[in-house]
């Protein structure tokens, strides 16, 4: 298990090494679904509160994308009934 996800960079060398040792399948690496590490660095050209405001706007936009994907999935599942229920 990776303890510090920010310090870990995926590299398939560990899998190749296990196979070379005659131990295929010894190492299994699974990505955590629906997540990512987002790091922000600044040169102080933008004030901290402006940066935090920008990240909140980004979060709202990502929530909107997630919601629109849910709507598409619901339309696929429920067809016209799903569109009618959301007023479309």
Global pTM? 0.38
Residues of the chain with pLDDT under 50: none
pLDDT tens across 4-27, in order? 766 767 778 888 888 999 999 888
CA distance to 40, 49, 50, 59, 73, per residue, from 44 (Å):
12, 11, 11, 22, 42
């Amino acid at each position: 298990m990776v303890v510090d996800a920010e310090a870990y960079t995926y590299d398939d060398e560990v899998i190749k090494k296990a196979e070379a040792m005659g131990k295929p399948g010894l190492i299994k690496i699974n990505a955590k679904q629906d997540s990512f590490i987002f790091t922000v660095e600044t040169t102080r050209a933008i004030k901290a509160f402006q940066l935090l405001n920008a990240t909140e706007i980004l979060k709202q936009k990502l929530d909107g994308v997630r919601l629109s994907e849910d709507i598409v999935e619901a339309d696929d599942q429920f067809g016209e009934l799903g569109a009618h229920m959301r007023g479309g």
